[in-house]
Amino acid sequence: MAKLEAANASPGAAATEKWSVRRLFSEWRELGIIAALIMTVLVFTAIDPEFLSSYNLVNIVLQASVTAILAMAVTFVIITGGIDLSIGTALALSAVVSGLLMSQGYPLPVVVLGTLATGALAGLFNGTIITLSGITPFVVTLGSMSIFSGLALIVSGGQTVYGIPPEFSDLLAGKIGPIPTPIVIAFVVLVVSSVVMRMTKLGEYLIALGGAREVARLAGIKVGFYTAIAYVISSSLAAVGAMVTVGRLGAADPALGADLLLPAIAAAVMGGADLNGGEGSMLGAVIGALLIATLQAGLTFLNVQAFYQQVAIGVVIILALLSNRLQKA
């Protein structure tokens, strides 16, 4: 018996001592996407050294901030084995509510609470229907995508909401010290989301019910409740993204959402979120968003036509997923 145990113990011990690139990549999942981001920056810099000027870099991060927030939002849901196709239009709906509250002169706390409540209610709607009906999240959120979009148009009367008082724009699109506020907000969301996923029971349950729903259920975890929570978090983060967007644009466009969904999901998945559930990384999602923004900025910088940009970005997304897959195998 003692001999057996020694034999069992030694492979593990040997494995921790032996260092290899393959092992590093499989242990630290974000490494692949980080490498991809660095390579992309290097390629653009090689083509034109001007690309790396600090203004441009800050600009890229700024461009990426809303996508990053949405990517983290949808990561919460993907980890549970679900999907949230409605985050784009949930953002639009929250943006319109936010814009209306701002333009009607409500104070900041009311604006923030009102916007967050809108997002949370949207998520509660998704989560409740998914939990109670048993309909797949894809279909439910496909429906609510349309509902939220319609509500955004109804609330705004189909018009872009203007008249955002400058103090809101200054606050939301200004700078904190040298750093633009949207970047700070995205960073705070990253820190809080990572802490929730890694250090709290909630995070552990979300992973458990994504990776092994029946195991979690039989262990007495209230899977319906926690599933709903994931959607509430997702849409609430979309509301945070909405405030940043309204601040940056100085207006709230009810048709905002459509273009935001795909980059967000792509960033989340490139960052390591497994669409089957049970795995996902907040840092990875943010870096995925940075990669997409870098590509957009770089291709624009090189005067590549917008049509070709779309093709190039699509190709990079597929390549990134392919390398994720190889990394896992």
For another protein, the binding residues (CB under 8 A) are 4-5, 7-8, 11-12, 14-15, 18, 195, 199-201, 204, 207-208, 211-212, 214-222, 224, 278-279
Q: Which is nearer to another protein, 7 or 46 (CB)?
A: 7
Report, in Å, the least distance between residue 18 CB and another protein.
8
Q: Which two tokens stand for residue 156?
A: 């705004």
Q: At 35, is the secondary structure helix, strand, or coil? A: helix
Question: Where does the chain show beta strands of DSSP type E?
Answer: 175-176, 179-180
Q: Which is nearer to another protein, 22 or 178 (CB)?
A: 22
Q: Which is nearer to another protein, 14 or 46 (CB)?
A: 14
Q: Are 292 and 280 in contact (CB under 8 A)?
A: no
Report, in Å, the least distance between residue 307 CB and another protein.
38
Report, in Å, the least distance between residue 219 CB and another protein.
5
Report, in Å, the least distance between residue 218 CB and another protein.
5
Report, in Å, the least distance between residue 190 CB and another protein.
17
Report, in Å, the least distance between residue 206 CB and another protein.
12
Q: Which is nearer to another protein, 40 or 131 (CB)?
A: 131
Q: What separation in angstroms does the CA of 325 have from each of 264, 276, 320, 329?
A: 19, 13, 9, 6
Q: Which is nearer to another protein, 58 or 222 (CB)?
A: 222
Residue 108 is inside which H or E element, if any? helix 108-133
Nearest to 243 by CA among 69, 48, 22: 69
Q: Which is nearer to another protein, 96 or 206 (CB)?
A: 206
**Amino acid occupying residue 300:** T
Q: Are 123 and 73 in contact (CB under 8 A)?
A: no
Q: Are 130 and 231 in contact (CB under 8 A)?
A: yes
Nearest to 73 by CA among 279, 267, 324: 267
